[in-house]
């Protein structure tokens, strides 16, 4: 993990403001000068230096401290450009829906469908662009394709880029290849097809587990052995 964070310095360019990703600090986004020194409190004043420090909470809603702080930051600091990375992309979508300020946003591998933030299933914010690496190992490319289709924001892809090194291109999103509407729709349709194929199997497995129980047998030297599965009478 330490090596991962050290690599941020190599791959991130400058910008105006940023919403960081999971297990990061604002300074690690290397967006100068705004994010160089976070303030000591969350009371954002006009022109105050710093970028928000979010939690790593999952499944948050619009009343969560991260969303509240993001809105206060946008409305008071009013950055011209915002880099919203991974979990920060989900926070940004929720905050921008209620903020009075509309910056130009570069969504970098936005994790908006990963369960970080509730209530953003139908985003409408359109003042920005989306970039995503074709080799992203954490956020599927079709998530960004879906976001692009829903909002109208263009999606630029970078061949071979993963979830971390895609940040290398946050300052030059249009240097990637822009996907067509047809390409984006195919990505979304393909994901739906996979879900349809796996859902019946998942339901079958869950139903089977409900009919089974684990019988623990024997104890010795602080260990126990799991016995065979035994089906309940139907």
Go through the domains of the chain in sequence order and give each one's CATH number.
2-179 (3.40.50.1820), 191-231 (no CATH)
Identify which of 85, 90, 89, 101 has the alpha carbon closest to the alpha carbon of residue 61.
90
d(CA 33, CA 36): 5
Q: Averaged over 217-225, what is the pLDDT? A: 47
pLDDT tens digit sequence for 88-136? 999 999 999 999 999 999 999 999 999 999 999 999 999 999 999 999 9
Lookup result for tokens 């880029």: 161
DSSP 19-32: E--TT--GGGG--T
d(CA 169, CA 175): 8
% of the chain surpassing 70 pLDDT? 73
Residue 12 has pLDDT above 70, yes or no: no
pLDDT tens digit sequence for 151-169? 999 999 999 999 999 999 9
- This prediction's pTM: 0.78
What number of other Cβ atoms are within 10 A of residue 155's Cβ?
27
Partners of 106 in beta bridges: 83, 129
* Average pLDDT taken over every residue of the chain: 83
What number of other Cβ atoms are within 10 A of residue 87's Cβ?
28
Helices (H) and strands (E) in the chain, counts: 5, 8
SS3 98: coil
Contacts of 60 (CB under 8 A, 6+ apart): 66, 67, 116, 117, 118
Taking phi first (over 0 means left), then psi (-120 to 50 degrees means alpha), and beta for anything else, what does residue 218 get? left
Strand blocks (E) in 44-115:
81-85, 104-108
d(CA 164, CA 212): 42
DSSP designation for 180: P
Distance of CA 113 to the CA centre of its chain: 7
d(CA 155, CA 176): 9
Residue 21 has pLDDT above 80, yes or no: yes
Partners of 80 in beta bridges: none
Angle at 34 between CA 33 and CA 40, to 5 degrees: 120
């Amino acid at each position: 993990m330490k090596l991962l964070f050290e690599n941020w310095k190599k791959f991130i360019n400058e910008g105006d403001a940023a919403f960081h990703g999971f297990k990061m600090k604002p300074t690690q986004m290397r967006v100068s000068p705004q994010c160089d020194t976070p303030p000591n409190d969350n009371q954002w004043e006009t022109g105050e230096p710093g970028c928000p420090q979010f939690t790593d909470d999952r499944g948050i809603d619009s009343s969560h401290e991260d969303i509240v702080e993001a809105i206060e930051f946008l409305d008071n600091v009013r950055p011209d450009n915002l880099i919203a990375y991974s979990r920060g992309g989900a926070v940004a979508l929720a905050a921008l829906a209620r903020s009075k300020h509309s910056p130009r946003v570069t969504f970098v591998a936005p994790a908006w469908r990963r369960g970080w933030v509730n209530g953003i299933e139908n985003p409408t914010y359109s003042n920005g662009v989306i970039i995503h690496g074709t080799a992203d190992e954490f956020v599927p490319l079709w998530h960004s394709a879906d976001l692009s289709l829903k909002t109208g924001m263009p999606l630029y892809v970078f061949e071979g880029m993963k979830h971390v090194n895609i940040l290398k291109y946050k300052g030059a999103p249009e240097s990637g290849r822009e996907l067509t509407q047809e390409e984006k729709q195919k990505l979304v349709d393909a994901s739906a097809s996979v879900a349809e194929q796996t859902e019946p199997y998942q339901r079958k497995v869950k139903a089977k587990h409900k009919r089974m129980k684990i019988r623990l047998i024997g104890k010795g030297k602080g260990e126990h052995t799991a016995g065979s599965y035994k089906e309940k009478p139907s």
